[in-house]
């Protein structure tokens, strides 16, 4: 089973499942890099000779081999099935994917040269928010936090909406401690706190008294993004995307939310 992570620029396979699925190393004559940098650390690239996604088959698809043991532990605690890998932007953009976070449905275009949107898909009653894509294929939406303009990275791999601790402290928003911790790929575990955002806006969708997670997002938010204008303040995670029927349309670069 593969998870869909809009925060991942490239698709990945769990290191412990690479041999089971028969992925091989990059050939010496290949122009593909043998290693890529993920969150500041290098990971090896392998080749999936036949990656089947429903009725769609991808041949010789490169995937980064990463440690997904943290996701496996989380799935065990929630009595969910552990994932074997991650579908990233390298698959979602060329297939003009539509990801329905509430329905947990992924729709892929079989022929990337076919024009037009998915027939029969209804966006009625949903509010649209434009998505901006960085050169590293990260997805961002405009918003504001307590009146301060900010961007959020759209990350379906994040269990909840998370704010960068440095940004929250700069905004002088009170923090509450928890006993929990979390970690991203190639990143060490970090403590999780909670904060209540009095006014949180994502495009033209507004929330009052919204509780969010707060942690050190260094490594996920980097290259001076926190100091940009507007700053990248955190991650728009699966909790909001599922609860408010988030739909991500990679073909039109639009996030839809129901409020």
Q: Looking at the domain assignment, is residue 73 inside a domain?
A: yes
139 and 84, same structural domain?
Answer: no
In-domain check, residue 121: no
46 inside domain: yes
Instruction: Tell me if 68 is assigned to some domain.
Output: yes
Distance CA 126, CA 110 (A): 26
Quick: pLDDT tens for 122-181: 788 899 999 999 988 899 999 999 999 999 999 998 888 999 999 999 999 999 999 887
Q: What is the CATH number of the domain that holds 253?
A: 2.40.70.10
**Which CA distances in Å does 5 have to 12, 158, 186, 236?**
10, 8, 15, 12
> Which domain does 45 fall in, by range?
2-92
pLDDT band at 221 (very low <50, low <70, confident <90, very high): confident
Side-chain-side CA neighbours of residue 197 (13 Å): 27
Q: Are residues 132 and 251 in the same domain?
A: yes
- Which of 65, 92, 119 terminates a domain? The answer is 92
The count of other CB atoms within 10 Å of the CB of residue 178 is 13
Q: What pLDDT was estimated at residue 83?
A: 82
In whole angstroms, give the CA distance from residue 11 to residue 185: 13
Q: What is the mean pLDDT of residues 229-244?
A: 94
pLDDT at 8 (0 to 100) = 84
pLDDT band at 119, cuts 50/70/90? low
114 against 205, higher pLDDT = 205
Report if residue 189 sits inside a domain: yes
Q: How far apart are CA 99 and CA 101, in angstroms?
A: 6
Mean pLDDT of the region 201-230: 89
Task: Determine phi and psi for 185, rounding to 5 degrees.
Answer: -60, 130
Residues 58 and 154 grouped into a single domain: no
Task: State residue 75's pLDDT score.
Answer: 42
Residue 99 belongs to some domain of the structure: no
Average the pLDDT over each of 44-53, 104-113, 123-132 and give the range with the smallest value. Answer: 104-113
pLDDT, tens digit (0-9, with 9 covering 90-100), for 58-90: 899 999 998 877 654 544 444 556 788 999 999
DSSP for 56-71 reads EEEEEEEEEEE--HHH
Q: What is the pLDDT of residue 77?
A: 45
What pLDDT does 72 receive? 44
Residues 160 and 215 in one domain: yes
On whether both 191 and 252 belong to a single domain, the answer is yes
CATH number at residue 51: 2.40.70
The number of distinct structural domains making up the chain is: 2
Q: What is the pLDDT of residue 228?
A: 83
The answer to whether residues 246 and 169 belong to one domain is yes
Residues 169 and 82 occupy one common structural domain: no
- Across the range 23-45, mean pLDDT stands at 82
- Residue 235 pLDDT > 60: yes
What pLDDT does residue 81 have? 66
Give mean pLDDT, residues 237-246. 94
Residue 201 lies in a domain: yes
Mean pLDDT for the chain overall? 87
């Amino acid at each position: 089973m593969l998870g869909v992570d809009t925060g991942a620029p490239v698709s990945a396979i769990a290191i412990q499942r690479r041999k089971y699925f028969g992925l091989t190393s990059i050939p010496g004559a290949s122009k593909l890099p043998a290693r890529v940098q993920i969150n500041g650390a290098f990971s090896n690239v392998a080749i999936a000779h036949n990656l089947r996604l429903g009725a769609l088959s991808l041949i010789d698809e490169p995937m980064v081999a990463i440690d997904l043991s943290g996701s496996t532990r989380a799935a065990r605690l929630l009595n969910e099935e552990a994932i074997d890998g991650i579908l990233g932007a390298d698959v979602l953009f060329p297939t003009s994917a539509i990801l329905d976070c509430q329905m947990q449905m992924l729709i892929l275009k079989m022929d990337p040269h076919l024009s037009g949107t998915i027939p029969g898909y209804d966006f009625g009653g949903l509010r649209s928010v434009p998505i901006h894509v960085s050169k590293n294929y990260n997805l961002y939406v405009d918003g504001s936090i307590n009146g301060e303009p900010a961007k959020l990275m759209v990350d379906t791999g994040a269990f909840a909406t998370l704010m960068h601790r440095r940004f929250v402290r700069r905004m002088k928003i009170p923090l509450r401690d928890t006993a929990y911790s979390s970690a991203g790929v190639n990143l060490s575990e970090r403590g999780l706190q909670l904060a209540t955002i009095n006014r949180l806006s994502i495009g033209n969708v507004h929330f009052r008294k919204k509780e969010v997670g707060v942690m050190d997002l260094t490594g996920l938010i980097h290259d001076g993004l926190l100091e940009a204008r507007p700053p990248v303040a955190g991650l728009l995670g699966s909790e909001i995307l599922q609860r408010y029927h988030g739909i991500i349309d990679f073909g039109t670069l639009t996030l839809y939310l129901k409020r």
